[in-house]
Amino acid sequence: MATSPSQFQSRVVDNRSLRGGYVVLTMQGPTDPAPLADTVPGQFVMLRGDWGRDLVNPRAFSVLEASADGRFSVMLKAYGRGTTALCEASEGAPITVTGPLGRGTFDTPSADGPTQLLVAGGVGLPPLHLQARRAVEAGLADRVELLYGGRDENDLVLLSDFEQWGVTMHLATEDGSVGEAGFVTVPLARRLELAASRKESVHVLSCGPTPMLKAVRTLALSREVPTSLCLEEEMACGFGVCLGCAVPVYGERSYEYCCTDGPVFDAQRVRWS
Amino acid sequence: MATSPSQFQSRVVDNRSLRGGYVVLTMQGPTDPAPLADTVPGQFVMLRGDWGRDLVNPRAFSVLEASADGRFSVMLKAYGRGTTALCEASEGAPITVTGPLGRGTFDTPSADGPTQLLVAGGVGLPPLHLQARRAVEAGLADRVELLYGGRDENDLVLLSDFEQWGVTMHLATEDGSVGEAGFVTVPLARRLELAASRKESVHVLSCGPTPMLKAVRTLALSREVPTSLCLEEEMACGFGVCLGCAVPVYGERSYEYCCTDGPVFDAQRVRWS
Amino acid sequence: MTAAPRPTSSLTPEQVDLSCSMGDLALPHPMMTASGCFAYGQKFAPFMDLRELAGLSTKGISPKPRFGNPLPRICETAAGMLNSIGLENVGAEAFLAEKLPFLADLGISVWVNFFGEDKDDYVRCVEMLNAGKGKGIGVLEMNISCPNIKKGGIEFGTVPEVANDLTRRCVEASDIPIVVKLSPNAGDVPAMAQAVADAGAKGVSLINTITGMAVDVRTRRPRLATTYGGLSGAAIKPIALRMIHQVHRAAPDLPICGMGGIASGEDALEFLMAGASCLQVGTSNFAKPIAALTIREELRRLMAELGIARVSDIIGCIEPIPAEPAWSPTIPGT
Amino acid sequence: MTAAPRPTSSLTPEQVDLSCSMGDLALPHPMMTASGCFAYGQKFAPFMDLRELAGLSTKGISPKPRFGNPLPRICETAAGMLNSIGLENVGAEAFLAEKLPFLADLGISVWVNFFGEDKDDYVRCVEMLNAGKGKGIGVLEMNISCPNIKKGGIEFGTVPEVANDLTRRCVEASDIPIVVKLSPNAGDVPAMAQAVADAGAKGVSLINTITGMAVDVRTRRPRLATTYGGLSGAAIKPIALRMIHQVHRAAPDLPICGMGGIASGEDALEFLMAGASCLQVGTSNFAKPIAALTIREELRRLMAELGIARVSDIIGCIEPIPAEPAWSPTIPGT
Ligand SMILES: Cc1cc2nc3c(=O)[nH]c(=O)nc-3n(C[C@H](O)[C@H](O)[C@H](O)COP(=O)(O)OP(=O)(O)OC[C@H]3O[C@@H](n4cnc5c(N)ncnc54)[C@H](O)[C@@H]3O)c2cc1C
Ligand SMILES: Cc1cc2nc3c(=O)[nH]c(=O)nc-3n(C[C@H](O)[C@H](O)[C@H](O)COP(=O)(O)OP(=O)(O)OC[C@H]3O[C@@H](n4cnc5c(N)ncnc54)[C@H](O)[C@@H]3O)c2cc1C
Ligand SMILES: Cc1cc2nc3c(=O)[nH]c(=O)nc-3n(C[C@H](O)[C@H](O)[C@H](O)COP(=O)(O)O)c2cc1C
Ligand SMILES: Cc1cc2nc3c(=O)[nH]c(=O)nc-3n(C[C@H](O)[C@H](O)[C@H](O)COP(=O)(O)O)c2cc1C
Ligand code: FES
Ligand code: FES
C-alpha cells in the first residue's frame, strides 16, 4: 500500500522550538502530487541539507505530519552533526528529501478492536503522535492512549495536542516532576494490570530509545500482550540497498531491514536479549 | 617591524558586492590592541569560517584595509569552496583570523623616490590598493600610479577610490570595453617607454594572477626596472611551519617561503621560466 | 592562480562524445554503479530509468546464500563511511532465477560481483554463474578483498602469487570475461594488478574499501560489530586516484574500472585522466539514488567547458608538472 | 540510540588525571605535536606557551641539510590534505646548534624526527644526534616512510626484514631511545611493528601519511609537483585507528604514539581507547596553532563527563560488542 518513494527538494517553512531542545521542523515540498500525502504512521523520510562532503549520508526522521498541500514536518532534537544542522535550519533552507520510506505497519485502530497503548519516549513520539492523530480523525480517540516517559518535564512535548484530541495520557518522568516517578514502564505495568483484570484487549505500540524499547518489550511480552516496536537503526540509504540497517529477527532470515521491512516490527520476532 | 601574528575571532560586519562578482568583506576583530592595526601593504591574513571538517585549512587574503578600531577588510571573488563560503558570509558570521602574516616589503614611496607603478589584476588589487592609500595619506599621491587590467569592465573594481585619491590610472581590458584593449602589459610597456625617454626612475610593484605576474616580470626585467612581485602560493598554515608555500628563488637557498619571506619578492630573484 | 585558465576552445555539451570502452567492452558513457551500493538494481527503479546507466555491478554473490554480519554494520566518518555488511547475498542460484532476468531486460552492462569462502568456492561460483552467459551477465567482477571473510581470505587480496593462482583458476572455469576487483589494503597494488592480468583477467576494478575503524567513546566499544569495516566515500578519493595512476603507469594496456569517492563530474574526470577507462559510483548512491546520472551530465558539461571532445582523448592523459629552471646561488646573467 | 547513555558517575574536570606514559617516558598529558606540522617549535611561540605541551616532534632531520621539492607541494582534499614537502630540513648540525637549545629550554619531551637517504645515512644521523643526549633530546623518532626519497626508501617502511635491520643498526648506534614511525602504506603493519620492536625500538608512532594523489582537470596535471604526496587529516582517522588497534592487539606491551586526523577531545579519546599511549596532532596545527592544547582541555572535560578518572584506565580498553542471541527459524518458547 505504501506509495513508492521519490527524492525531491523542499524548503524549511517553519522551525518551531519546543521545550527541552526539541524542534518541529516543517518543510514545503512539491504539490500535486504531494509525495508524502499518503504517509502512514511509522513511515519516515531521509533528510539532507547543504552539508558539503563532511556529512555523507542523509538522516532518517519519522513523519510527524504530512498534508496534501505538500507540507510535512518532523520532530527532532540535536544529537550529532546532522540533527544539529537541521535544528538550526532557518526558513528557506533547502532540504533534500527521500520518502515516504518504510512500510510502517502499526494496525489502524478500529471501534471494536483492542485499545492501542502508544508508549513513547524522546524522539520516538512522532510516529505515535501521527497514529493518535489518525485515530482522532477517524473518531476513535478513545481507542488510543498515550503512555509517555522522559527525564523531566522538559522531555515531554506536544502534550497539548493529545489534550485537545481528548486522548488519555499516562505520563512518567525520571525526576518525578510530571506524572509518575520513574520510567514509562511504571504506568505501562499498571495499565496492563488493569487491562488484565478487566479482560480488556490491548495492543502496545512503542517508539523511543532502544533501552526503553527493550524494557517495554520484556514487560509486554511477559504479559503476552501483542506489541509492535518502531525501531531506529543506523541508516545510509533508507530504501533497502546498503543493508546497513539490519534488525536481528527470528524467522527464516536472521536479519530483516529496518528501512524496508520496518521500521515497525513485531516485538516477539525481534532477536534481542 | 611586522608585529608578531596572533589568532583571534572576528565577525562579519559588512559584505559588499562589487561588480564582476568581487566582494569586499569587512570584519570586526578585537580592539585595544587591534591585532591588524599596523598591517603594512602586502601583509595578509588567514581566514576560516565554521567550515566543519571538509575544508581543512584557512584561506589567505591580502589585507585591503585595517584600522585601529579592530575593523579590517579583504577583497575576494568566489573561486573554490572556501572563497565561495566567504563571499556568501552574512553579517554576524564568525570568522577565525590569523595575522598579520608575511613581511610585505613593498618600499614605502618617498617624495624624491622613484615613481611606483602599481600593476594589478583580478584579486591582486588589495595590496596595491593599500599601498596607494598609504601613499595618499602621506601626501604622496603623485608618487604612485595604478596600472590595472582585467577581462572586461566588470573585472575592474574600486576605481572610484583611486579617482578620489587623485591617483593616475592606466586601465586595460581584454575586450577593450574600458581603457586600452589587451593585457595590462600594454599600458605598462608604454609607461616604461615614457619613463625611459624621460629618464624617470620608476619601480614596478605587481600583484595578480601568476600568468600576469610572469608577463610583468619578463617585461620589466627586460627594461631593467626594479620590480617587486606579491605572490600567491597554496598555503596551509600561513606562518612558516608547513613549508607548503615554497617560492623557487636564486640565492643561497633554492626555495623561500611565500608566507614568511614574502609574499613580496624581488622579481629578479624569483626562479621562474 | 585564482582564476582557472579559460578553455582554449569550448564545445557545446551536445558535441561531447562520452562513449568509452573497458577493453573489448564498449560503453555509451563511463558511469556505472558500484557493487554493494546498488543492490540488484530494482530498488532504484522508482528514482531513475536504469537503462540510462552504462552498467551496474551487483551486490557480491556467493555460491550459497549468506546472512550478513551483526549490527551495527555502518557508521559515518569524516567525508566517508565504514561498512561491515558481511557480504550478505541471495546466493548464485536465487540470483540467476530471481534477479538476473530483471537486469537482463535493462540492456546495460551487467557486472556480477562475486566471491567465495575459499578457492574452490570461488570456482564453484564461476561455474554457477556461467549459466548467466548470454542471459544478461556481461562481466564477472571478482572480489578478492573480503576483509569480512574468515578463512585466510585476506591473502587473496594481498599476496600476488595467491591472487594469480585464484584468478587463473576462475578464468579457466569461466565462459564470461573476468575483471578482478583489487584490495587497496595490499602493500603493492601494481604487483597485484600485474598478477591478475597475467592470470587472464580482462581488467581490474580499483578501489575496494580500505579497512578502517571507529570508536564509540561512550560505550567503549567499536562502532561496528565486527570492529573493522571498509572505508568508502570522498575521504578515500586521493588514495584511489594514486592507485589507479600507479597501475595505469605500470600496465598501460590493462583496462581499469575506477571508483572511490566519486561524487561529481570533476571527480569523474580526475579518475579518467588518472587512467580509468570507466567508472563506478558507490557511496554517493545512498544520499542521491540518481548520482551516477547527474555525475554523467556534470561530466558532459565540464568536458564541454574544457574543450574535451571525447572521453577516449583524456584517459590517463595527465602530464608531469614542468620542471622549474635550475637553481643557482646567483641570479643568471648577473 | 539517539540519546547517548549518561555517565554513571561524572567527575569535575579538575578530578581528571591526564598523566600518562609512553614506555618509560612519563608525560603530564597525552598531547604532543607531530613532525612536519610544528617546524622546530619557535614559530608557534606567538600563539601559545609551548611548555604546556606534553612534547613535540621536530621536522624530519637528515645528516645534511636538504632542500625541498618543487611546487606545488600541498593541496587540500575532502577532510584532508596532500603534502609533498620533500623532507626539507636544516640538517643535524644546524639543528643541534640553532634549534635544539630553544627546545631544550622548554623542559618538555623533545622528539627528534629523523631519516637518512640510505641505511648508512640513517646511522650517521643517529650518531650526529647522539650529541643531543642530555642536551634536550628525549626521543629519536625514526621515520621509515619517506615516499619522497628516491633510493628504494620505500622498502624501509614496507618490508619487515629491511625495517628490522635498519632499526637494529640505528638502535645499536644510538644513546637515545628510538621510537619508529611506521608507514601506513605497508601491507601488514602489525608485522612491521613487531619487526622494529624485535630490533629494540622503544615504541612506534602510528600513522604517517598515506600516499595519495589529486588531479587538476584544467591543466591535466597532478596537483603536486611530485605527482604523489602524503594524505593527512580527518579523512585518514578511521585507517589510523584500525592500525593502532591492530598493533595494540598484536603487541600489547609495545607503546604506541597515535596520530592521524586528531582534531578534538573525542578524537583523542578514540585513539587512547584503541591502544595509543600518547598522541600527536599534525594537520590541525595549521588551522589552529593551539590545537593540541584545546584538544587537551576537551579531552579533560569529556573524560570528566564520562566519569573516567585516569588516562591510564582507558588505554586500549575497548571491548567487543556483545553477541546477539542465537538465531533460530522459530521464536524461542513458541
Ligand atoms: C526510522 C527512523 C526514524 C527516526 N526518527 C527520528 C525522529 O523522528 N526524530 C529524531 O530526532 N530522530 C529520529 N531518528 C534518529 C535519527 O535518524 C538520528 O538521531 C540521526 O540520524 C543522528 O544523526 P546525527 O548526525 O545527529 O548524529 P551522528 O551520530 O553524527 O550521526 C552519525 C551517523 O550515525 C547515524 N545515527 C546516529 N544515531 C542514529 C539513530 N538513533 N538512528 C539511526 N541512525 C543514527 C546517522 O544517521 C549518521 O549516519 C530516526 C531514525 C530512524 C532509523
Ligand atoms: C598571500 C596571499 C594573498 C592572497 N590574497 C587574496 C585576496 O586578497 N583575494 C582573493 O580573492 N584571493 C587571495 N588569495 C588567493 C586565495 O587564498 C585563494 O583564492 C583561496 O585560497 C582559494 O580557496 P578556495 O577554497 O576558494 O579554492 P580551492 O581551490 O577550493 O582551494 C583548495 C586549496 O587550494 C588553495 N588555493 C587555491 N588557489 C589558491 C591561490 N591562488 N593562492 C593560494 N592558495 C590557493 C586553498 O588555500 C586551499 O588550500 C591570496 C593568496 C595568497 C597566498
Ligand atoms: C555498504 C557497502 C557495501 C559494499 N559491498 C561490496 C561488495 O559486496 N562487493 C564489492 O566488491 N565491493 C563492495 N563495496 C565497495 C564499493 O563497491 C566500492 O568499491 C567502494 O565503496 C569505493 O567506492 P565509493 O567510495 O564510491 O563507495 C561496498 C561498499 C559499501 C559502502
Ligand atoms: C605538511 C606535513 C609535513 C610532514 N612532515 C613529516 C616529517 O617530516 N616526518 C614525519 O615523520 N612525518 C611528517 N608528517 C606526517 C605527520 O607527522 C603525521 O604523521 C600525519 O600528518 C598524520 O597526522 P595528522 O592527520 O594529524 O596530520 C607531515 C605531515 C604534514 C601534513
Ligand atoms: S538503510 Fe540502507 S538498507 Fe536500510
Ligand atoms: S603556508 Fe605554511 S609555510 Fe607558508
For residue D47, give Cα distances in angstroms to B59, D39, D293: 18, 14, 11
Apex A130 CA angle, A125 and A135, nearest 5: 125
Answer whether B252 touches A (CB < 8 Å).
Answer: no
Ligand (nearest to CA of B236) = 6
User: Ligand 6 pocket test: which of B44, B242, B247, B261 has the largest number of ligand atoms within 8 Å of its C-beta?
Assistant: B242
**Closest C-alpha to D91, from D133, D125, D126:** D125
Identified catalytic residue from C20, C37, C146, C170: C146
Indicate if the pLDDT at residue C1 is higher than 70.
no
Is D220 within 8 Å of C185 when comparing Cβ atoms? no
- What is the C-alpha to C-alpha distance for residues B94 and B25, in angstroms, rounded to an integer? 12
**Backbone region of residue A238 per phi and psi (left: phi > 0; alpha: psi in -120 to 50; beta: other values):** left
Is C325 within 8 Å of B273 when comparing Cβ atoms? yes
For cell 574526470, name the residue.
Answer: C269
Is B210 within 8 Å of C1 when comparing Cβ atoms? yes
| pLDDT category of residue C152 using cuts at 50, 70 and 90 | low
- What is the C-alpha to C-alpha distance for residues A117 and A195, in angstroms, rounded to an integer? 11
Q: Measured from the CB, is residue A238 less than 6 Å from ligand 1?
A: no
Other residues' Cβ atoms within 10 Å of the Cβ of residue D42 = 15
Phi, psi of D274 (to 5 degrees): -75, -15
Is C241 within 8 Å of D214 when comparing Cβ atoms? yes
Mean pLDDT value across residues C137-160: 81
Distance from CA of D317 to the nearest CA of C (A): 7
C10 CB-side CA count, 13 A: 13
Other residues' Cβ atoms within 10 Å of the Cβ of residue A10 = 22
Distance from CA of D261 to the nearest CA of A (A): 14
Is B53 within 8 Å of C328 when comparing Cβ atoms? no
Q: Which is the closest atom of ligand 2 to the Cα of B231? A: 1
- What is the C-alpha to C-alpha distance for residues C81 and C88, in angstroms, rounded to an integer? 18
* DSSP strand pairing (A246-248 vs A255-257): antiparallel
Indicate if the pLDDT at residue D5 is higher than 50.
no
Mean pLDDT value across residues B145-158: 95
Distance from CA of C183 to the nearest CA of B (A): 26
Indicate if the pLDDT at residue D259 is higher than 50.
yes
Q: Measured from the CB, is residue C147 less than 6 Å from ligand 3?
A: no
Say what the pLDDT of residue C4 is. 40
- What is the C-alpha to C-alpha distance for residues D247 and D188, in angstroms, rounded to an integer? 10
D-contacting residues of A 190-209, CB under 8 Å? 209
Return the SS3 of A190: helix
Q: Measured from the CB, is residue A140 less than 6 Å from ligand 5?
A: no
User: Ligand 2 pocket test: which of B83, B257, B259, B260 has the largest number of ligand atoms within 8 Å of its C-beta?
Assistant: B83
pLDDT digits (tens, 9 = 90+) for B56-106: 999 999 999 999 999 999 999 999 999 999 999 999 999 999 999 999 789
Q: Measured from the CB, is residue D281 less than 6 Å from ligand 4?
A: yes
Residue C146 is a catalytic residue: yes
Nearest CA in chain D to C6: D218
Number of H helices, E strands in chain A: 5, 16
Q: How far, in Å, from the CA of A29 to the mean position of ligand 4?
A: 47
Say what the pLDDT of residue D301 is. 97
Q: How far, in Å, from the CA of D208 to the mean position of ligand 4?
A: 6
Q: How far, in Å, from the CA of B78 to the mean position of ligand 2?
A: 10
Mean pLDDT value across residues D55-72: 95
Say what the pLDDT of residue D333 is. 78
Let me know: does D63 contact D124? Beta carbons within 8 Å. yes
- What is the C-alpha to C-alpha distance for residues C193 and C274, in angstroms, rounded to an integer? 16
Indicate if the pLDDT at residue D188 is higher than 50.
yes
| pLDDT category of residue C311 using cuts at 50, 70 and 90 | very high
Task: Report residues whose beta carbon is within 6 angstroms of any ligand 2 atom.
Answer: B 44, 57, 59-62, 74-77, 79-83, 123, 126, 232-235, 258, 263; C 1-2; D 75-76
Longest CA span, chain B: 57
Distance from CA of D158 to the nearest CA of C (A): 7
Residues paired with B148 in a beta bridge: B120, B171
Q: Which residues of D touch C9 (CB under 8 A)?
A: none
Mean pLDDT value across residues D295-300: 98
Measured in whole angstroms, how far is the alpha carbon of residue B243 from the centre of its chain?
21
Apex B167 CA angle, B166 and B169, nearest 5: 125
Mean pLDDT value across residues C51-58: 98
pLDDT digits (tens, 9 = 90+) for B161-184: 999 999 999 999 999 999 999 999
Say what the pLDDT of residue C150 is. 58
| pLDDT category of residue C110 using cuts at 50, 70 and 90 | very high
For residue A261, give Cα distances in angstroms to A45, C70, D301: 15, 17, 41
| pLDDT category of residue D2 using cuts at 50, 70 and 90 | very low
Nearest CA in chain D to A150: D3
Q: What b/e readout covers C77-116, taking b as 16+ CB neighbours within 10 angstroms? A: bbbbbbbbbbbbbbbbeebbeebbeebbebebbbbbbbbb
Measured in whole angstroms, how far is the alpha carbon of residue D28 from the centre of its chain?
18
For chain A, residues with pLDDT lower than 70 are 1-2
Q: Measured from the CB, is residue A240 less than 6 Å from ligand 5?
A: yes
The overall average pLDDT reported for chain B is 95
Integer Rg of chain C from CA: 21
| pLDDT category of residue C111 using cuts at 50, 70 and 90 | very high
C-contacting residues of D 39-68, CB under 8 Å? 67
Say what the pLDDT of residue C8 is. 58
DSSP per residue, C248-315:
HHH-TTS-EEE-SS--SHHHHHHHHHHT-SEEEE-THHHH-TTHHHHHHHHHHHHHHHTT--BGGGTT
| pLDDT category of residue B32 using cuts at 50, 70 and 90 | confident
pLDDT digits (tens, 9 = 90+) for B214-266: 999 999 999 999 999 999 999 999 999 999 999 999 999 999 999 999 999 99
Q: Measured from the CB, is residue A63 less than 6 Å from ligand 1?
A: no
ipTM, two decimals, is 0.96
Say what the pLDDT of residue B105 is. 80
Q: Which is the closest atom of ligand 5 to the Cα of A233? A: 1
Beta strands in A107-251 (DSSP E): 115-121, 144-150, 168-173, 180-181, 202-207, 227-230, 246-248
Mean pLDDT value across residues C193-203: 97
Is C79 within 8 Å of D79 when comparing Cβ atoms? yes
Answer whether D214 touches C (CB < 8 Å).
Answer: yes
For residue C274, give Cα distances in angstroms to B12, B85, B247, C180, C315: 41, 29, 27, 19, 7
Any idea what DSSP says for residue D61?
B
For cell 536472521, name the residue.
Answer: A254
Say what the pLDDT of residue C2 is. 35
The helix (H) or strand (E) run that includes residue B126 is helix B125-137
Ligand (nearest to CA of C73) = 3
Say what the pLDDT of residue C87 is. 85
- What is the C-alpha to C-alpha distance for residues D2 and A8, in angstroms, rounded to an integer? 26
**Closest C-alpha to A217, from A169, A266, A170:** A266
For residue B91, give Cα distances in angstroms to A51, B11, B54, B88, B95: 21, 7, 23, 10, 11
Is A234 within 8 Å of C80 when comparing Cβ atoms? no
* DSSP strand pairing (B227-230 vs B202-207): parallel
**Closest C-alpha to B236, from B122, B82, B65, B90:** B82
The helix (H) or strand (E) run that includes residue C246 is helix C237-250
Distance from CA of B31 to the nearest CA of A (A): 30
Mean pLDDT value across residues B3-7: 89
Mean pLDDT value across residues B109-135: 95
DSSP per residue, B239-264:
SSSS--SEEEBSSSSSEEETTTT-SE
Q: Which is the closest atom of ligand 5 to the Cα of A235? A: 1
Residues paired with D278 in a beta bridge: D257
Indicate if the pLDDT at residue B1 is higher than 50.
no
Which residue's CA is the closest to the ligand 1 atom numbered 29?
A: A80
Strand order in the sheet with C229-232: C74-77, C80-83, C229-232, C210-212
Let me know: does C70 contact C222? Beta carbons within 8 Å. no
Is D88 within 8 Å of B247 when comparing Cβ atoms? no
Residue C281, amino acid: V
Phi, psi of A180 (to 5 degrees): -80, 155
What is the C-alpha end-to-end distance of chain A, expressed in Å?
32
